[in-house]
Amino acid sequence: MALLSRDDYVRILETCQIKGQDDAILKALRYINLGYAIMLYGPAGNGKTSIASHMLDYISKDYLKIEATEGMTEYHVIGGFHPLSMSGDRELSKKFMYKDGIVARAIQEDKNLLIDEFTRAPSSAYSGLFMLLSLGELPLEHKEEVLRMPENWVLVVTANFGDDGTFKLSSALKRRFIPIMVGYPKRYTEEKLLTEITPELPGNVSKGILDFAEKTRELWSKEKVLPQGLSTDGVIKMARYCELSIREGTDNVTAFTDAAIHQGVIIADETDYLSLQLVQELALDMAKKI
């Protein structure tokens, strides 16, 4: 039987804090219903983690969550002997024998799982997970035990492809997931968000922020001169800063310029002077039109 009904889909969409991503959410929910593991991917700050948590929260509140890191290994994912199990102190070595990793725990406790920032760890960390997704079984060698994937087990991961500090997925591992893109939402979605989040923000400043976002996204996707565009998260941060700063007496142009330069550093390659200069010039240029 399907895990989620159409009513569930509607309720999940209606209660989601992330707006304008209904299409991606709906696709993810359908695949979850079909029993596939989901990989939400796309540029940072567009709601991947929030969407994944929201879906899992709805399906069952007590899911497990881990954020992958560069140093993550099979030990954290599946389990193994704790380094202190080798201790000369017998009490200590007994206390720290074998530790289950997050996937083994999730299966044993029959809890769904979110692996956030999946591509921050190398594919080698996930070889056990790969087996589980391919064969439905997870052998725990040291424990001489084989865990079976629970029925209706939900696994959602979020990923950023090609970002600094991420690993390229092995294609075999990638194939075990359904990749669903969470990109930049439509302009009117963000416009509506800003009227709700920052009701006092002057219309021309709001327009300036959305124009700035649009331009940076073009510079990223078409001209390929920026490593990323301004995210929805960045749009909200700019709007909130401008609203506060203007309320405290700053003029519109200065407030916008400051906020655009702050977010500009985030989206530029901060180690490249020309990249930083490009976003600063864009910020100043756009400020003139306010």
| Contacts to ligand ADP by CB under 6 A | 17-21, 44-50, 158, 185, 193, 232-233, 236
Q: Which of residues 193 and 238 has its CB atom nearest to ligand ADP in the complex?
A: 193
Among Mg ion, ligand ADP, none, the one that 19 touches (CB under a kind-dependent 5 to 8 A) is ligand ADP
Q: Which of 21, 46, 49, 275 binds Mg ion (CB under 5 A)?
A: 49
- Nearest to residue 209, comparing CAs of 224, 226, 176, 231? 231
Q: Cβ 44 to Mg ion, closest distance in Å?
A: 7
Do 98 and 80 form a contact (C-beta atoms < 8 A)? Answer: yes
Total binding residues toward Mg ion, as defined by CB under 5 A: 1
Which structure tokens are listed for 171? 């294609």
> Is residue 160 a contact point for Mg ion (CB under 5 A)?
no
> Is residue 231 a contact point for Mg ion (CB under 5 A)?
no
d(CA 115, CA 2): 23
- Nearest to residue 105, comparing CAs of 64, 153, 156, 56? 64
Sequence-distant (≥ 6) Cβ neighbours of residue 3 within 8 angstroms: 32, 33, 59, 152, 154
Among Mg ion, ligand ADP, none, the one that 232 touches (CB under a kind-dependent 5 to 8 A) is ligand ADP
Among ligand ADP, Mg ion, none, the one that 20 touches (CB under a kind-dependent 5 to 8 A) is ligand ADP
Q: Cβ 193 to ligand ADP, closest distance in Å?
A: 5
Q: Cβ 267 to Mg ion, closest distance in Å?
A: 16
- 281-284 long-range Cβ contacts below 8 angstroms, 24+ apart: 282/212, 282/215, 282/216, 282/219, 283/212, 283/256, 283/257, 284/257
Q: Which stretch binds Mg ion (CB under 5 A): 44-52, 165-173, 199-207, 208-216?
A: 44-52
Instruction: Please state whether beta strands 37-41 and 137-140 pair in parallel, antiparallel, or not at all (unpaired).
Output: unpaired
Do 28 and 180 form a contact (C-beta atoms < 8 A)? Answer: yes
Q: Which of residues 115 and 286 has its CB atom nearest to Mg ion in the complex?
A: 115
Q: Residues in the site for Mg ion, rule: CB under 5 A?
A: 49
